[in-house]
């Protein structure tokens, strides 16, 4: 009999479940890897997981067309009995629903069925223990038509020979094989593209398992042309550490073997829930000078940008990179790392979603600001949260601590960019604002006879230029030996203009002085235009110049040359105008910041 008023009509229910909100196919795949690692903890020193992708090759006329046709996930974990296997394919059920079994990365009982049907129309599962291998499946089309209302009773069935030949591991007495087919929701068309994206995310999500060698994840791609299967790619996933403190990672050389960042600080904070205290670990890292000065356009810079954010880790498994603490406008944000790590007992406090992609209650929060919104004083708001044992109070405290630490870390990153100049940064390249302004100055001298007060020092002996410029760069905070090397390069260079950062007394946005025939433009660290304009116009590496920054530099260089060419009386007047303009600009910018 057809039921006309079912609470959950099969076709609507399965359609809704398929739209489960996985951000990416790799996150859906991670649900199955969760199951494998969790199931392998008690039976393996190292759980082997293999992700096997099959591209079907079809001939369309004279051309070959590749499309990813199947994805298989194998593990050597504990395997499942027939009863457990059947339960595992039920939505919302599973073997980790009781409190005593919720201390690992599994919990919600949604992983295998939910993740699978979010990517494909058919999922087949073989699982074995002590030689008995059971098989069952889910088929989206059968469920939609109402033909499949229960998980089919598992039957004894051997692993297909097709997959046996592709599995690298020695298949033992226990394990599981899941196969996705009819892949209608994986946006990657070929296995190569899918695995490239998967490696980066899987490496980050499971970095602690991979680094400790408690899990190994193989990523392999195959091409199937009318039954002839050849291997296209085969590698083991490497850890991807957003804190950049690990070695043996997938980071670009040499940082795959050595840490690119230093540990800044690490400590625990406590959260009390129903009389029990639970620890949250906070870890902070900051880039090393060596990596910092390679710049954002370097391989390590681009890699760090992809890992930018606060890493939220639950039971050793990353949930997300939270972006709410980022100053998104500042390219230097890539150069710090923060990790917040907690155990499953705090899932409700952090708002962990059932697909383990986010901790929705964790974000940048300001207790004072929220208190004002509620029409209360911060103390009143805090007391109300304490009385209600509101978990938001813990989030406010963690958020405040992260902000405090980041304030110090950002200052350190800023000083790194200002304190050291590599040899390639010493004399700006051809086409830079400094080079253009130098050529324009030479043309003015040749065509107009315009002379500046700095020009006479261009004829100083080389040794004297070395001494003066060494002192100038040492004043910037550069070590004496390095300052001497930089001074040698500048003394040999014909470049007329030098930009540097410094603390300029007074309200001027920039200061000007001449040394050894060079015109130094010192951008004032204490002026709001430094961060609000100058830094914003830098390239993604925080060091190189964008066209917009080059234009700004040319304007400042033009003013600098104007003062340099002026007679003493007019120069004093221009200096006063520059200071007055800086004062008004400061007031306007501060007003804009509120």
**Residue 149 and residue 79 in one domain:** yes
Q: What is the mean pLDDT of residues 567-582?
A: 93
Q: Residue 580: CB partners within 8 Å, gap ≥ 6?
A: none
**Residue 41 and residue 136 in one domain:** yes
Q: Which domain holds residue 286?
A: 261-419
* 134, 109 contact by CB (below 8 A): no
The answer to whether residue 5 sits within a structural domain is no
The answer to whether residue 1 sits within a structural domain is no
Q: What is the mean pLDDT of residues 164-186?
A: 95
**Residue 415 and residue 512 in one domain:** no
Q: What is the pLDDT of residue 412?
A: 86
* 25, 200 contact by CB (below 8 A): no
Q: Residue 236: CB partners within 8 Å, gap ≥ 6?
A: 216, 217, 218, 219
Residues 2-22 have pLDDT tens digits of: 455 554 556 666 666 777 667
Band of the pLDDT at 325, cuts 50, 70, 90? very high
* Whole-prediction pTM: 0.69
Cα separation values, 369 from 377, 396, 406, Å? 10, 11, 19
**Residue 460 and residue 566 in one domain:** yes
Model confidence at 57: pLDDT above 90: no
Beta-bridge partner residues of 220: 52, 234
The answer to whether residue 469 sits within a structural domain is yes
**Residue 79 and residue 187 in one domain:** yes
**Residue 415 and residue 497 in one domain:** no
The answer to whether residue 327 sits within a structural domain is yes
Beta-bridge partner residues of 135: 126, 155
Asked which of 396, 419, 442 is the last residue of a domain, the reply is: 419
**CA–CA gap between residue 147 and residue 594 (Å, rounded):** 63
Q: Domain with 160 in it: what CATH number?
A: 3.30.565.10
The string of DSSP codes covering 431-485 is TSHHHHHHHHHHHHHHHH----TTGGGGGS-HHHHHHHHHHHHHHTT--HHHHHH
Q: What is the mean pLDDT of residues 359-383?
A: 92
**Residue 427 and residue 375 in one domain:** no
Model confidence at 358: pLDDT above 80: yes
Q: How many domains does the chain have?
A: 3
**Residue 490 and residue 546 in one domain:** yes
Question: To the nearest whole percent, how much of the chain has pLDDT over 70?
Answer: 90
List the single range of 205-209, 254-258, 408-412, 503-507 with lowest mean pLDDT: 503-507
The answer to whether residue 97 sits within a structural domain is yes
The answer to whether residue 2 sits within a structural domain is no
* 75, 214 contact by CB (below 8 A): no
**Residue 464 and residue 583 in one domain:** yes
Model confidence at 96: pLDDT above 50: no
Q: What is the mean pLDDT of residues 260-289?
A: 90
The answer to whether residue 243 sits within a structural domain is no
Q: What is the pLDDT of residue 525?
A: 86
**Residue 293 and residue 231 in one domain:** no
* 74, 175 contact by CB (below 8 A): yes
Residues 237-253 have pLDDT tens digits of: 999 999 999 999 999 99
Band of the pLDDT at 263, cuts 50, 70, 90? very high
Q: What is the pLDDT of residue 97?
A: 44
Top pLDDT among 327 and 247 is at: 247
Parallel, antiparallel or unpaired: strands 497-502 and 518-524: parallel
* Distance from chain centroid for Cα 415: 22
Model confidence at 540: pLDDT above 60: no
**Residue 571 and residue 450 in one domain:** yes
Half-sphere exposure at residue 10, Cβ-oriented, CA atoms within 13 angstroms: 14
- Output the CA torsion 394→397→400→402 (10° steps): -70
Q: What is the pLDDT of residue 533?
A: 84
**Residue 413 and residue 428 in one domain:** no
Asked which of 401, 419, 437 is the last residue of a domain, the reply is: 419
For residue 484, is the peptide bond before it cis, meaning its omega torsion is within 30 degrees of 0? no
Q: What is the pLDDT of residue 290?
A: 87
Tally of CB atoms within 10 A around 471: 14
Q: What is the pLDDT of residue 99?
A: 47
Asked which of 357, 386, 419 is the last residue of a domain, the reply is: 419
Q: What is the pLDDT of residue 591?
A: 77
The answer to whether residue 252 sits within a structural domain is no
List the single range of 44-58, 98-112, 118-132, 477-491 with lowest mean pLDDT: 98-112
């Amino acid at each position: 009999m057809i039921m006309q008023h079912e609470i959950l009509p099969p076709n609507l229910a399965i359609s809704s479940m398929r739209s489960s909100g996985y951000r990416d196919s790799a996150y859906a795949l991670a649900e199955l890897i969760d199951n494998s690692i969790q199931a392998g903890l008690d039976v393996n020193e190292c759980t082997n997981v293999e992700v096997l992708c099959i591209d079907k090759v079809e001939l369309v006329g004279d051309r070959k067309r590749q499309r990813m046709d199947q994805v298989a996930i194998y593990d050597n974990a504990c395997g499942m009995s027939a009863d457990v296997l059947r339960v595992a394919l039920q939505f919302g059920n599973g073997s980790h629903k009781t409190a005593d079994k919720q201390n690992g990365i599994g919990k919600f009982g949604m992983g295998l069925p939910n993740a699978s049907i979010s990517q494909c129309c058919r999922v087949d599962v073989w699982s074995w223990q002590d030689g008995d291998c059971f098989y069952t499946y889910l088929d989206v089309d059968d469920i939609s038509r109402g033909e499949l209302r229960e998980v089919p009773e598992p039957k004894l069935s051997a692993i297909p020979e097709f997959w046996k030949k592709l599995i690298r591991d020695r298949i033992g007495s226990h394990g599981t094989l899941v196969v996705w087919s009819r892949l209608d929701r994986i946006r990657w068309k070929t296995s190569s593209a899918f695995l490239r994206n998967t490696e980066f995310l899987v490496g980050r999500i499971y970095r602690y398992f991979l680094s400790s060698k408690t899990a190994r994840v193989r990523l392999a791609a195959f091409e199937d042309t009318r039954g002839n299967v050849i291997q296209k790619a085969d590698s083991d996933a490497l850890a991807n550490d957003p804190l950049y403190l690990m070695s043996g990672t997938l980071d670009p050389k040499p940082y795959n073997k050595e840490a690119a960042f230093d540990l800044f600080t690490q400590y625990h904070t406590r959260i009390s829930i129903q009389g029990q205290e639970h620890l949250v670990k906070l870890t902070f890292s900051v880039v090393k000078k060596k990596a910092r000065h390679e710049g954002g356009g370097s391989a390590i810079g681009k890699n760090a940008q992809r890992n930018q954010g606060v890493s939220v880790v639950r039971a050793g498994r990353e949930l997300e990179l939270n972006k709410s603490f980022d100053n998104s406008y500042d390219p230097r944000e890539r150069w710090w790392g923060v990790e917040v790590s907690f155990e499953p007992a705090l899932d409700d406090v952090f708002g962990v979603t059932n697909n383990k992609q986010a901790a929705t209650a964790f974000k940048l929060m300001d207790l004072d600001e929220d208190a004002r919104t509620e029409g209360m004083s911060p103390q009143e708001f805090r007391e109300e949260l304490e009385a209600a044992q509101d978990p938001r109070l813990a989030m406010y405290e963690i958020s405040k601590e992260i902000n405090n630490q980041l304030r110090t870390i950002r200052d350190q990153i800023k000083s790194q960019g200002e304190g050291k100049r590599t040899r390639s940064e010493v004399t700006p390249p051809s086409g830079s604002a400094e080079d253009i302004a130098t050529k324009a100055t030479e043309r003015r001298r040749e065509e107009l006879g315009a002379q500046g007060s700095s020009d006479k020092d261009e004829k100083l002996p080389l040794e004297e230029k070395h001494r003066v410029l060494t002192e100038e760069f040492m004043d910037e905070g550069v070590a004496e030996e390095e300052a001497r090397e930089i001074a040698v390069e500048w003394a040999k260079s014909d470049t007329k203009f030098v930009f540097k950062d410094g603390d300029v007394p007074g309200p001027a946005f920039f200061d000007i002085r001449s040394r050894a025939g060079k015109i130094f433009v010192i951008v004032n660290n204490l002026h709001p235009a430094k961060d609000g304009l100058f830094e914003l116009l830098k390239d993604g590496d925080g060091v190189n110049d964008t066209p917009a920054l080059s234009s700004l530099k040319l304007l400042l260089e033009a003013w600098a040359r104007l003062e340099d060419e002026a007679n003493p009386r007019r120069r004093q007047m221009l200096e006063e105008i520059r200071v007055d303009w800086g004062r008004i600009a400061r007031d306007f910018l501060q007003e804009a910041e509120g």
